[in-house]
Structure 1
Amino acid sequence: MDDELAMLTRVYKAICLERGIPFDSPRREKVAAHIFMLFMNGFTDEDELLFTMRNRGPLVPPYQTADLAQVR
């Protein structure tokens, strides 16, 4: 389990870094949730997760992040 958590963390950090998502952005939560959902649905290989995340559109467009922050 520790290996899986470390792998998910690497994927999460790589995607956030590549997309330029700031540490305090609500978009990070969406990225983490989506990676975990993919993992729970059988995407258990690091390269497979990275490929899938890199080849999809934005989870939350940047112009919507202000609205998400206000909802909380």
Structure 2
Amino acid sequence: MLIALTVLSAVVANSHLENAATIIMVLAAFKFLAVAFYFMELRHANTFWKALLIAFLTIFIGLVLII
């Protein structure tokens, strides 16, 4: 899944879409969540840590897209 998302990001980056940056950031967010919940075992963590991770990701991507 991570490889497929990476290849999709590369395809979007090489296309001439107006919203390419937004699409790439959303794909990166999915990859970040996949790594965090699967490889870092956060799916078994306390709900506070899950909410904090998702809030951080939302704020970070929002700020990057605004800038």
Pick the structure with more helix per residue. Answer: 2
Q: Which of 1 and 2 has greater Rg?
A: 2
Same fold flag (TM > 0.5) = no
Which is bigger in relative contact order (C-alpha 8 A, separation at least 6)? Answer: 1
Q: TM-score, normalised by structure 1?
A: 0.41
Q: TM-score normalized by structure 2?
A: 0.43
